Chains A and B, each alone.
Chain A
């Protein structure tokens, strides 16, 4: 089984509730490290403007290239649900290895704090919430209901097969576990 996200780009208003809820539940400190972020895209000219938001997080890829890149073997993929986790004790730190995981990841999912020797942090799919039968914090927080989660095959049944969307490129090499409802320019 592979856990994944569903992102309905047509419902996202870029509010960042997901980002803050993630920081709250996972106690991510103030600063640039954010395991869930929202990217901005603007195209066109007044008054025919196109605006789309896109989540930026770990998509728990089928082939996590970050794990291959990590010299310390700190990144692993759980066999039971495909969630990719990092062992922060094993992580060498940002400077020591030059953040190889971040360089390898097509989605900038690995995050580092500003302090020297910062260890990598990233979306852990709120595994502690999943065992309690709860939604990941970002999904629970989304007040426009643009986010959902679940086993990837169930998400495909519910939402279809789309994996491309404006401001997102599906990596055939890593195979991110995400289904999109893309918002396309009129």
Chain B
């Protein structure tokens, strides 16, 4: 068959995306006449080892070449949030932005400039999340936010328990497990490292028993689980406490392991047995809280304690809740009780699943320098006390309140202008309707963007940004490794688009900031970054080959196991905690002296749980997991992806019937924060009393304030836990037929 696309002048460009997406997969971009016309995946000769990309990057060209891409600088031509703009030149755009920055700094001080960065572009060189802080630091300072929406609870828990965020195993290690407990983990949907689902399927085929504890019967569970244990959101710790109770009272726990490697188990045991608060954490007690039958809880405790090795796989979703970090601390404590930390086929828990080779946390970057505004603040490096972190910064899930209330509301600054890049926070942090008010009130808002996102509509000034296909850069294997990837520039920038770094370089001239420009060629800077990074330089010794191949794979002799050294040779390898041990009791946390931060992991009731008086009015708990067909809110406009999975609300037949709702009906979900309109997916795959909609659909309020785009965060609360977790899975709602 004649195919016009198959011709001589097609170039193959090796690249990856730079989305914040859970994987990092090699792509072969077929390019003709400055257009990506087709995409192939990894061509590693061993097809089993190919790092195969998911549906999202299969549609990458439809994102890069989408007809709605922003192509020119624009300024607001209608009311704020109306989305009306007029085209201007780069010169005018940069003059407006530099004048606003200078004027705001002079009149109100640099702290009244809010810089909003994010994870929308995860690569070393062109990221605005590095380039803009560096520019504004040199300019005089700014106020910014603290914490990330995804993982703050898991990060805090891992730092408390282990003093390290590298708590993961190579994915191949799941093949060494006899029992795998998926506790709020759905790699079929959120990927969790390229090929992770492939290895989990292999583990299953290898004979591992798999149990899923989740409010939903996920696609991962449907593929691999022998058993699904539905549980109410926010109550994982009650069930985990009861599992600890069963292990302790039936003497199933590994006391020798606890004695050797941990501190504080006795204090934890006092809490579990009720010596501390008069309530023994029995399975019967837990059943009333979490909705899991007592016998099921006891059975799982016995099974987990007996299977060796066993991998309890916690993740970050349940940690995005009002006491979220307790879930990851509890999981890690159960893992220590069963002696599964640091062992092949086990799991350290902690929710982050990262290994230190190829990890995005160790990404090369241009050093941003110090922020003059933060010089006078408390020392925050390593602190577990979130209160110290929000003296000079704003918690990410409080941005809107900070803009609305300023210093009078206890926030560090009265924000007079904001500049945003690599994020769509109106859509992706809690309480979008409050965001609508805040962004309408904000005197000036500049946004670097690729699309007219929900948030970009509120801009006074819009600066068009290139996609990762239009620049070269270094990307990382998200948490999983072990490999490094290189993005080769596939096409020249479309329209008048620039990278965030290039925008900062141009703006530095207008601001009179000298010596900001890097002054070297892109590839030379990237080579320098590879050479200077202590991890990359160890592995990537031939830069040209790395660039040519687009990937450098690392052959490990055996799977990476978190804390293996600490377990096998504890004398010479203490944990990086004050005690040098796994801290089930943390004195550092005790010193915080806050009821939201117990020194041993605990189940603690929260706002908007099933005992909140609000439950009478809003009797359904809302979950907002990762979407499959977009990366958070990125790629939302790509039709190939939208048609692959319609945006729906999962609701159990019992709850649907009580509301006269049938599958496919138009419904509305609502609470005091907002109201969204979408269709019902009536399914047995969710626990009665729980509903679920995937995050990332774009906020689109109509004239009555009903969000027709059905953004999950129209319903979520703008608050955070004791460890700083955004509470995206702690919301009560009601559902009615539209």
Using CB atoms and an 8 Å cutoff, list the residues of chain A in contact with chain B. Answer: 10-17, 19-21, 23-25, 27, 30-32, 34, 42, 44-47, 49, 51-52, 85, 124, 127-128, 135, 137, 140-145, 186
Report yes or no: A143 in contact with B228, Cβ–Cβ below 8 A. no
B-chain residues with CB within 8 Å of residue A124 when the two chains form the complex: 1
Given contacts A13-B220, A17-B58, 16 further A-B contacts (CB under 8 A): A12-B223, A13-B197, A16-B55, A19-B55, A19-B644, A20-B55, A20-B640, A24-B58, A27-B38, A30-B62, A46-B688, A47-B217, A47-B229, A128-B3, A142-B52, A145-B201
- Give bound CA distance, A124 to B644, whole Å: 21
B-chain residues with CB within 8 Å of residue A46 when the two chains form the complex: 217, 230, 652, 684-688
Task: Identify which of B37, B198, B629, B645 contacts A144 (C-beta below 8 A).
Answer: B198
Report yes or no: B59 in contact with A141, Cβ–Cβ below 8 A. no
Report yes or no: A25 in contact with B197, Cβ–Cβ below 8 A. no
Question: Can you sample 24 A-B contacts with CB below 8 Å?
Answer: A12-B223, A14-B188, A15-B54, A16-B644, A19-B644, A20-B55, A20-B641, A21-B41, A24-B39, A24-B61, A30-B640, A31-B643, A44-B684, A46-B687, A47-B217, A85-B1, A128-B6, A140-B52, A141-B58, A143-B52, A143-B195, A144-B198, A144-B223, A186-B226
Report yes or no: B52 in contact with A141, Cβ–Cβ below 8 A. yes
**Chain B 195-213: CB-based contact to A (< 8 A → 1; otherwise 0):** 1011001000000000000
B-chain residues with CB within 8 Å of residue A10 when the two chains form the complex: 223
Smallest distance from the beta carbon of B657 to chain A beta carbons, Å? Answer: 13
**Chain B 225-258: CB-based contact to A (< 8 A → 1; otherwise 0):** 0111110000000000000000000000000000
Report yes or no: B639 in contact with A21, Cβ–Cβ below 8 A. no
B-chain residues with CB within 8 Å of residue A51 when the two chains form the complex: 217, 219, 222, 685
Smallest distance from the beta carbon of B301 to chain A beta carbons, Å? Answer: 18
Q: Does B5 contact A (CB under 8 A)?
A: yes
A-chain residues with CB within 8 Å of residue B48 when the two chains form the complex: 145
Given A13-B197, A15-B188, A20-B55, the answer on whether A128 and B217 have CB atoms closer than 8 Å is: no
A124 (CB) vs chain B CBs: closest residue: B1
Smallest distance from the beta carbon of A139 to chain B beta carbons, Å? Answer: 9
Q: Does B683 contact A (CB under 8 A)?
A: yes
Report yes or no: A128 in contact with B644, Cβ–Cβ below 8 A. no
Report yes or no: B52 in contact with A42, Cβ–Cβ below 8 A. no
Q: Does B666 contact A (CB under 8 A)?
A: no
**Chain B 1-40: CB-based contact to A (< 8 A → 1; otherwise 0):** 1010110000000000000000000000000000001111
- Give bound CA distance, A23 to B645, whole Å: 15
Interface size class of B (residues with CB under 8 A): 35 or more
Report yes or no: B683 in contact with A15, Cβ–Cβ below 8 A. no
B191 (CB) vs chain A CBs: closest residue: A143
Q: Does B480 contact A (CB under 8 A)?
A: no
A38 (CB) vs chain B CBs: closest residue: B644
A22 (CB) vs chain B CBs: closest residue: B58
Report yes or no: A25 in contact with B685, Cβ–Cβ below 8 A. no
For chains A and B in complex, what number of residue pairs have CB atoms within 8 angstroms? 120
- Give bound CA distance, A51 to B48, whole Å: 26
Smallest distance from the beta carbon of A183 to chain B beta carbons, Å? Answer: 9
Report yes or no: B640 in contact with A127, Cβ–Cβ below 8 A. no
- Give bound CA distance, A83 to B339, whole Å: 56
Smallest distance from the beta carbon of B372 to chain A beta carbons, Å? Answer: 47
Smallest distance from the beta carbon of A108 to chain B beta carbons, Å? Answer: 16
B-chain residues with CB within 8 Å of residue A21 when the two chains form the complex: 39, 41, 55, 58
Report yes or no: A17 in contact with B54, Cβ–Cβ below 8 A. yes
Most central of B1, B54, B227, B643 by chain A CB within 10 Å = B643
Q: Does B398 contact A (CB under 8 A)?
A: no
Smallest distance from the beta carbon of B406 to chain A beta carbons, Å? Answer: 45
Smallest distance from the beta carbon of A3 to chain B beta carbons, Å? Answer: 15
Given A14-B219, A16-B644, the answer on whether A42 and B684 have CB atoms closer than 8 Å is: yes
A50 (CB) vs chain B CBs: closest residue: B222
Task: Identify which of B1, B201, B629 contacts A16 (C-beta below 8 A).
Answer: B629
Report yes or no: A20 in contact with B59, Cβ–Cβ below 8 A. yes
A-chain residues with CB within 8 Å of residue B54 when the two chains form the complex: 15, 17, 143
- Give bound CA distance, A144 to B52, whole Å: 9
B-chain residues with CB within 8 Å of residue A24 when the two chains form the complex: 38-39, 58-59, 61, 640
Closest 3 CB pairs of A and B: A143-B52, A30-B639, A13-B188
B-chain residues with CB within 8 Å of residue A11 when the two chains form the complex: 201, 223
A-chain residues with CB within 8 Å of residue B219 when the two chains form the complex: 13-15, 51
Most central of A34, A44, A140 by chain B CB within 10 Å = A140
Report yes or no: A20 in contact with B684, Cβ–Cβ below 8 A. no
Report yes or no: A49 in contact with B228, Cβ–Cβ below 8 A. yes
Report yes or no: A144 in contact with B201, Cβ–Cβ below 8 A. yes
- Give bound CA distance, A34 to B464, whole Å: 33
Q: Does B433 contact A (CB under 8 A)?
A: no
Q: Does B53 contact A (CB under 8 A)?
A: yes
Tell me the residues in window 648-694 of chain B with beta carbons closer than 8 Å to chain A beta carbons.
652, 683-688
Given A10-B223, A13-B188, A143-B197, the answer on whether A23 and B640 have CB atoms closer than 8 Å is: yes
Task: Identify which of A14, A30, A186 contacts B643 (C-beta below 8 A).
Answer: A30
B688 (CB) vs chain A CBs: closest residue: A46
Report yes or no: B40 in contact with A140, Cβ–Cβ below 8 A. yes
Q: Does B628 contact A (CB under 8 A)?
A: yes
Smallest distance from the beta carbon of A39 to chain B beta carbons, Å? Answer: 13
Report yes or no: A20 in contact with B198, Cβ–Cβ below 8 A. no
Report yes or no: B38 in contact with A15, Cβ–Cβ below 8 A. no
- Give bound CA distance, A98 to B489, whole Å: 47
Smallest distance from the beta carbon of A182 to chain B beta carbons, Å? Answer: 14
B61 (CB) vs chain A CBs: closest residue: A24
Tell me the residues in window 505-526 of chain B with beta carbons closer than 8 Å to chain A beta carbons.
none
- Give bound CA distance, A144 to B62, whole Å: 23
Smallest distance from the beta carbon of B187 to chain A beta carbons, Å? Answer: 9
B-chain residues with CB within 8 Å of residue A44 when the two chains form the complex: 684
